[in-house]
Amino acid sequence: MVAIAPLLIIWLGSGLPSKVLICALIVFFPVLINTIVGLRSVSANLRELMRSLGATRWQNFRLLEFPAALPILLGGLKVGATLSVIGAVVGEFLAPDRGLGYLISVARGQYDTALVFVGVFALVVMALSLYGLVAWAEHRWLSWRET
């Protein structure tokens, strides 16, 4: 993604759309792979049970596959939440005009170690907040699961 990011910045400009696309592409594949793994992990016996009960494809997805894949999907979202912060910083390093990546880059150029630490600490807080938000959603949506 770091190799493709400069092309996206050239094509879309150094504004917000290129940075959002970089973040989205960095997050997309871990979430997609975890979703596919989760959907494929559904037991064949449960699929056969749903088929024997006459469930439609939509009912099969809604009542069996999605709830079974949700824990793995949320695991992918946890990874994606932290990767999104990395994607934002990559976009801001490559197209510096504003943001925490820009602040860290400027502070690094001025040898302002304290400001670099402030920027890095702010990024860590953002990543942990996003991770905590997904963990809260996981706790709320998966309260039916036995641990």
Within 10 A of 139 (CB to CB), how many other CB atoms are there?
Answer: 10
Residue pLDDT, tens place only, 45-56? 999 999 999 999
Residue 132 has pLDDT above 90, yes or no: yes
DSSP secondary structure letter of residue 61: I
Residue pLDDT, tens place only, 31-78? 999 999 999 999 999 999 999 999 999 999 999 999 989 999 999 999
CA distances from 3 to 29, 83, 94 (A): 16, 16, 11
- Note the pLDDT of residue 97: 77
Residue-range domain boundaries for the chain: 5-141
Mean pLDDT value of segment 9-13:
85
86, 27 Cβ separation under 8 angstroms: no
88, 130 Cβ separation under 8 angstroms: no
Structure tokens at 5: 């990011």
